[in-house]
């Protein structure tokens, strides 16, 4: 089974990092704001230029949750890991990306920048093109072999804005009792 990894925006606090500050620190080192905005698409490692700009967890309007997630997503194809999640997953995640330290609400966390991009299965994937502009995807899928061989991945087919995985990563998260993300079978669902 293939899953889209989504943050649990209903059950847990949401992550807030000042993207403008990050663009001016990390973005300048990458070559400007445009380079920062496309680092995931370009599959760029950030560890050599990373700066911890900090962040916080915030409530979503109207929701009453107050719990910080063990694991969540941020800025597309990145995971954010608590110390518990990092301890449980780092060995398995390491071959697929890099770990970037960040302080959230005064506590140490780790951003996992996924550097593992694979191709979508074009026989089941269709882009949403309107007036010659890419608007998103209508459908997306991956071969069973690719999913089995890649613990976690992103794809240029959807502009590297989402993380995907198979049963193996889902089991690692569930076995470690990590909370804060959803595994969606609908690969084009918003949440």
Q: Give the β-pairing of 163-165 and 152-153.
A: antiparallel
Rounded to an integer, what distance in angstroms lies between the CA atom of residue 104 and that of residue 69?
11
pLDDT attached to residue 147: 97
Burial (CB count within 10 angstroms: exposed 0-12, middle 13-18, buried 19+), residue 154: buried
Contact 68, 57 (CB under 8 A): yes
pLDDT of residue 18: 87
Q: Of 2, 44, 41, which Cα lies nearest the Cα of 146?
A: 2
Helices (H), ranges, the chain: 19-22, 28-30, 33-37, 83-93, 144-149, 167-175
Which of 43-57, 61-75, 118-132, 171-185 is predicted with the least confidence, judged by mean pLDDT?
61-75
Tokens representing residue 163 in the block: 């993380």
The whole-number pLDDT of residue 149 equals 97
pLDDT in tens, 142-160: 999 999 999 999 999 999 9
* Whether residue 33 has pLDDT greater than 80: no
Residue 66's pLDDT band (cuts 50, 70, 90): confident
Q: What is the mean pLDDT of the chain?
A: 92
pTM score, whole prediction:
0.93
């Amino acid at each position: 089974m293939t899953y889209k990894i989504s943050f649990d925006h209903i059950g847990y606090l949401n992550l807030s990092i000042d993207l403008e500050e990050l663009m001016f620190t990390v973005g300048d080192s990458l070559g400007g704001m445009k380079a920062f905005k496309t680092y995931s698409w370009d599959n760029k490692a950030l560890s050599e230029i990373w700066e911890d700009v900090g962040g916080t967890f915030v409530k979503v309007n109207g929701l009453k949750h107050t719990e910080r997630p063990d694991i969540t997503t941020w800025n597309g194809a990145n995971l954010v890991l608590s110390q518990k999640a990092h301890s449980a997953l780092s060995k398995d995640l390491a071959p697929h990306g890099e770990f970037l330290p960040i302080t959230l609400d005064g506590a140490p966390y780790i951003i996992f920048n996924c550097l593992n991009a694979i191709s979508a299965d074009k026989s089941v994937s269709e882009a949403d093109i309107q007036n010659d502009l890419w608007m998103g995807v209508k459908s997306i899928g991956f071969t069973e072999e690719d999913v089995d061989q890649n613990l976690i991945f992103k794809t240029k087919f959807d502009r590297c804005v989402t993380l995907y995985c198979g049963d193996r990563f889902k089991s690692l998260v569930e076995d470690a009792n990590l909370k804060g993300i959803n595994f969606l079978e609908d690969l084009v669902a918003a949440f």
